[in-house]
């Protein structure tokens, strides 16, 4: 595994213009993710948290501000294969098998797939889909498809991992399971991770730090440290300190106006 790289977001500003109306998606968003850290970005729908991630991947352009990853801009970093990504929708290509879908980023980057077959198999094992390498996406459940997307995000041995609500479409039980698995994968690979989510418990369970965003204009209003020791056990979900921290983040999300 190559060494993780940090992410530096410096005063990101972005305004969308549609039909004469301007929507300020990001105002002065700054965030520093040290190498090997796990940061969660949380906020209500439409607060621009996905836009942050999309600009870091070069899928959107910025009006001003810079994104740096290992001293590279988004375009150079993605092309160098520095980053991995999983979206809310698994976005698997329906005509490719599980193994072929996992291999897609390698093909896009122009790397040889043959020598990586062993690792692709390992990754499919890692996400608990051993024996389903040749299944087509249509034959898998929603949770399984999402696991394929996670395996795919790791296939390039990324130094930075972007996760955009990867479990947003799953039910609560499956989501807990996936959270526990993701923690294990992160511990094994040590990759710098930025997780975009609207689940408070998910953010607290997984992250070292939770950055709270608010909408209109999209901005970071608070960064809260999560002190719990690792590895975190499922029992943490019912711990009082866990709930207290969740309440604190909920308070920050609501702009401090609500007491509880």
Partner 1 sequence: MPAEAPGGRLAALVRALWPLVALLALWELAGQMRWVAGGALPAPTQILYRYWQDWGDYPRHIRATLIASGAGFVIGNAIAVAAGLLFVLAPVTGRIARGLNIAIFALPPIAIAPILSLTLEGMTPRIVLAALGVYFVTMQATVTGLQQFDSRAGDLVRAYGGGKAAVMRFVQIRGAIPAILSGFRVAAPNAVLGAILAEFGGGGRWGLGTYLLGSLGRGDPARLWGIGLTATAIAGLSYALFAVISARMLGRTRAVSLNPSAPPSETREPVNLPVMLASILLPFALWWAVLWALQVPRMIGKSPWDVIDYLFLSAQSAQAQERLLGALLQTLPITLIGMAAGLAFAFALAVSSRLTPGFTRAFLPVALVTQTMPLVALTPLLVLILGRGTAVTLWITISVTFFPAYVMIAQGLAQVPRAALELPRAYGATAWRELRLVAIPASAPWALAAVRLTAPRALLGVMIAEWLATGRGLGNLLNQSRGYMDFSMIWTVALVSVLLSVGFYQVALWIERRVMARMGGG
Task: Pick the closer one to partner 1 by CB: 81 or 199.
Answer: 81
Concatenated DSSP letters for the chain?
Answer: -PPP--EEEEEEEEEEEETTEEEEEEEEEEEEE-TT-EEEEE--TTSSHHHHHHHHTTSS--SEEEEEETTB-HHHHHHTT-EEEE-SS----TTS-HHHHHHHHHHHTT--SGGGHHHHHHHHHHTT-TT-TT--GGGS-HHHHHHHHHHHHHTT--SEEEEESTTTTS-HHHHHHHHHHHHHHHHHH--EEEEEES-HHHHHHH-SEEEEEETTTTEEEEEEE----SSPPGGGGG-HHHHHHHHHHHHHHTTT----
Task: Pick the closer one to partner 1 by CB: 29 or 140.
Answer: 140
Determine the interface stretch with partner 1 among 13-21, 62-70, 119-127, 133-141 (rule: CB under 8 A): 133-141
Query: Nearest approach, Cβ of 249 to partner 1 (angstroms)?
Result: 28
107 in contact with partner 1 (CB under 8 A): yes
Determine the interface stretch with partner 1 among 28-36, 101-109, 204-212, 230-238 (rule: CB under 8 A): 101-109
Among 41, 85, 194, 200, binds partner 1 (CB under 8 A): 85
Task: Pick the closer one to partner 1 by CB: 48 or 81.
Answer: 81
CA 88 to chain centre: 9
4 in contact with partner 1 (CB under 8 A): no
Determine the interface stretch with partner 1 among 63-71, 119-127, 132-140, 183-191 (rule: CB under 8 A): 132-140
Residues 148-177 that bind partner 1 (CB under 8 A): 156, 162
Among 23, 136, 223, 246, binds partner 1 (CB under 8 A): 136
Task: Pick the closer one to partner 1 by CB: 38 or 162.
Answer: 162
Among 23, 72, 91, 180, binds partner 1 (CB under 8 A): 91
Q: Is 21 exposed, middle or buried (0-12, 13-18, 19+ CB in 10 A)?
A: exposed
Residues 46-75 that bind partner 1 (CB under 8 A): 54, 57-59, 75
Give the residues lining the site for partner 1 (CB under 8 A): 54, 57-59, 75, 78-81, 83, 85, 87, 89-95, 104-105, 107-109, 136-139, 145, 156, 162
């Amino acid at each position: 595994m190559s060494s993780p790289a940090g992410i530096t977001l410096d005063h990101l500003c972005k305004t969308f213009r549609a039909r004469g109306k301007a929507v300020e998606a990001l105002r002065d968003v700054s965030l520093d993710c040290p190498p090997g850290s796990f940061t969660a970005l949380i906020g209500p729908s439409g607060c621009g948290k996905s836009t942050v991630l999309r600009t870091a991947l070069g899928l959107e352009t910025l009006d001003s501000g810079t994104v740096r990853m290992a001293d590279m801009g988004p375009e150079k970093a993605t092309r160098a294969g520095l980053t991995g990504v999983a979206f809310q929708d698994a976005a698997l290509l329906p005509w490719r098998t599980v193994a072929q879908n996992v291999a897609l980023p390698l093909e896009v980057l122009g790397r040889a797939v043959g020598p990586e077959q062993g690792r692709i198999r390992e990754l499919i094992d890692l996400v608990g889909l051993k024996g389903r390498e040749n299944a087509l996406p249509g034959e898998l459940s929603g949770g399984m498809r999402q696991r394929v997307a996670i395996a795919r995000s790791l296939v390039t041995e990324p130094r930075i991992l972007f996760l955009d609500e990867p479990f947003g479409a799953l039910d609560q039980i499956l989501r807990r399971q996936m959270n526990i698995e993701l923690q294990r994968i992160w511990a094994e690979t040590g990759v710098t991770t930025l997780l975009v989510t609207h689940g408070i418990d998910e953010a607290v369970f997984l992250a070292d730090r939770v950055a709270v965003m608010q909408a209109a204009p999209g901005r970071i209003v608070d960064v809260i440290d999560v002190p719990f020791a690792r590895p975190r056990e499922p029992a943490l979900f019912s711990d009082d300190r866990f709930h207290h921290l969740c309440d604190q983040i909920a308070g920050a999300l609501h702009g401090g106006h609500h007491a509880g």
